[in-house]
């Protein structure tokens, strides 16, 4: 146990930074002498280097976490602020799934899950995660074995069944935070129901770790979480400028710390760095793309395996995704967190997640984003394996077009499984969409 803890600490503080410096040096050598053609994108963000360092160190520490500290695998919409004071190393299978999607190894992992009986219609994050567990394959090198599985139904019901499978595989406890679906604003008895579950959650984690939850520590974590989401929201808001200093596609990648490290100082330090750089780019008129002529909104999860190709196709014609409902959701929910009432505000914040609210709320958000970011059009990603996020998009398309006078395209694909995406057909539809602005 002591040896394992030493390995865990050294991985994050000594070996990890040294390894990352060596890898960066190797990449510079490979790039040296290579000629690059003109790019439709502006200068790359310097913050990307720090982003890679922060996330790489998190995954590197994770290789040595089990046996050193308690480990929890959690869904993205879970109140992680209650776990951090007890020293949990958290793993987000959705974030890991996105990493697998970018590396384009999802078909292999999904095949392994499908051979065990899971349907291809199941969420591709779930298939990716289950396949990774079955094959022991991950671009992160190794994921630590969980001591606890923690899921919340505010993003979808699939997570409960997915995490039950993981609990059965690892033989560890599963805790569920069940949030009633919200029409308008949650009712008092709904909030009380969720608050009771938070109390039960604390009892479970205290028993598991043998430690008592210190409310003062929770207040400190909640304060950091609120600060982090505020900083993230301010980073997103810089894209209201013309030209936007970065793209919505950039935002998908820079979202990682607020998901995985929410409530930590390294998360907040990173967003201060990013915000300073984006603010400087706004002052100097540096855009995320070279020639921004049209501004777009993106709805739903990204196509992790094809975001670069998609954004390049549009950027070459002067189209830029300046805002997305997904990245915005992480700023919206966090705005409800209040250190003065950590438990009550956590109930409000995690119950009012975008996917746990009705369609009028989605429409209101998209209306506001469209106006605040001065968009000319929107692309609604009809995600094959994320039904909760895709339902109602035909109605949303009609309302946005009619009320705001913007052009709207529904694009069929999947967030993680490239087998559900036809580049030829998709690019043709995107080309026709862009032509409609002429």
Walk across the sheet containing 89-91 and list its strands.
89-91, 71-74, 148-152, 174-177
Domain-embedded: residue 380: yes
One pLDDT digit (tens) per residue for the chain, 438 residues = 556 666 666 566 655 565 555 455 445 545 555 556 689 999 999 999 999 999 999 999 999 999 999 999 999 999 999 999 999 999 999 999 999 999 999 999 999 999 999 999 999 999 999 999 999 999 999 999 999 999 999 999 999 999 999 999 999 999 999 999 999 999 999 999 999 999 999 999 999 999 999 999 999 999 999 999 999 999 999 999 999 999 999 999 999 999 999 999 999 999 999 999 999 999 999 999 999 999 999 999 999 999 999 999 999 999 999 999 999 999 988 788 899 999 999 999 999 999 999 999 999 999 999 999 999 999 999 999 999 999 999 999 999 999 999 999 999 999 999 999 999 999 999 999 999 998
Quickly list DSSP for 130-169.
Answer: HHHHHHT--TTS-PPPPSEEEEETTS-SHHHHHHHHHHHH
Q: Answer yes or no: is 261 within a domain.
A: yes
Handedness of CA 315, 317, 320, 324 (dihedral sign): negative
Rounded-to-integer distance, Cα 190 and Cα 351, Å: 9
CB of 132 within 8 A of CB of 100? yes
Q: In the chain, how many domains are there?
A: 1
Instruction: Decide if 26 is inside a domain.
Output: no
Q: What is the CB neighbour count within 10 angstroms for residue 218?
A: 22
Flag whether 25 is in a domain: no
Report the alpha-carbon distance of residue 51 to residue 236 in Å, rounded.
16
274 inside domain: yes
pTM, two decimals, is: 0.93
Judge whether 71 lies within some domain: yes
- Binning the chain into helix, strand and coil, the percentages to the nearest 5 are 60, 10, 30
8 A C-beta contact, residue 391 and residue 380: no
Q: Which residues contact 188 (CB under 8 A, 6 or more apart)?
A: none
In a domain, 30, yes or no: no
Q: Which domain holds residue 282?
A: 2-20+40-435
- Omega prior to 172 cis, within 30 of 0: no
Neighbours of 6 (CB within 10 A): 12
Burial of 399 (0-12, 13-18, 19+ CB in 10 A): middle
H or E stretch covering 408 = strand 407-413
Please check whether residue 396 is in contact with residue 299, taking contact to mean a CB–CB distance below 8 angstroms.
yes
Does a structural domain hold residue 326?
Answer: yes
């Amino acid at each position: 146990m002591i040896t394992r803890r030493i390995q865990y600490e050294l991985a994050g503080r000594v070996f990890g930074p040294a390894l990352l410096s060596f890898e960066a040096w190797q990449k510079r050598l490979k790039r040296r002498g290579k000629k690059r053609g003109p790019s439709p994108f502006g200068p790359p963000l310097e913050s990307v280097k720090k982003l890679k360092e922060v996330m790489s160190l998190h995954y590197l520490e994770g290789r040595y976490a089990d046996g050193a500290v308690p480990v929890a695998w959690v869904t993205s919409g879970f109140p992680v602020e209650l776990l951090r004071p007890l020293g949990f190393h958290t793993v987000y299978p959705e974030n890991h799934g996105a990493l697998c999607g970018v590396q384009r190894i999802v078909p292999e992992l999904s095949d392994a899950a499908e051979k065990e009986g899971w349907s291809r219609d199941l969420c591709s994050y779930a298939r990716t995660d289950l396949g990774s567990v079955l094959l022991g394959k991950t671009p992160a090198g190794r994921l630590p074995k969980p001591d606890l599985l923690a899921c919340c139904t505010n993003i979808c019901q699939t997570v409960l069944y997915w995490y039950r499978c993981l609990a059965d595989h690892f033989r560890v406890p599963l805790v569920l935070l069940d949030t009633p679906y919200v029409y308008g604003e949650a009712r008092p008895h709904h909030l009380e129901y969720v608050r009771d579950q938070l109390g039960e959650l604390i009892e479970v984690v205290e028993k598991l770790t043998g430690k008592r939850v210190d409310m003062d520590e929770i207040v400190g974590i909640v304060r950091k979480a609120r600060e982090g989401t505020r900083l993230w929201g301010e980073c997103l808001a810089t894209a209201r400028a013309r030209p936007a200093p970065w793209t919505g596609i950039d935002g998908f990648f820079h979202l990682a710390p607020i998901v995985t490290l929410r409530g930590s100082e390294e998360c907040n330090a990173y967003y201060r760095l990013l915000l300073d750089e984006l603010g400087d780019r706004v002052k100097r008129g540096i855009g995320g793309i070279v020639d921004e002529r049209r501004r777009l909104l993106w709805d739903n999860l990204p196509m992790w395996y094809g975001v670069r190709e998609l954004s390049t196709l549009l950027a070459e014609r002067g189209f830029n995704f300046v805002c997305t409902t997904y990245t915005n959701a992480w700023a919206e929910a966090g705005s409800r967190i209040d250190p003065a009432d950590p438990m009550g505000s956590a109930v409000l914040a995690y119950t009012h997640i975008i996917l746990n609210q009705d369609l009028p709320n989605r429409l209101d958000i998209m209306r506001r984003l469209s106006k605040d970011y001065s968009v000319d059009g929107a692309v609604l990603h009809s995600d094959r394996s994320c039904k909760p996020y895709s339902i109602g998009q035909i109605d949303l398309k009609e309302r946005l077009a009619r009320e705001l006078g913007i052009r709207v395209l529904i694009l069929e694909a999947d967030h993680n499984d490239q087998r559900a995406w036809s580049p030829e057909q998709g690019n043709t539809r995107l080309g026709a969409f862009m032509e409609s602005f002429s």
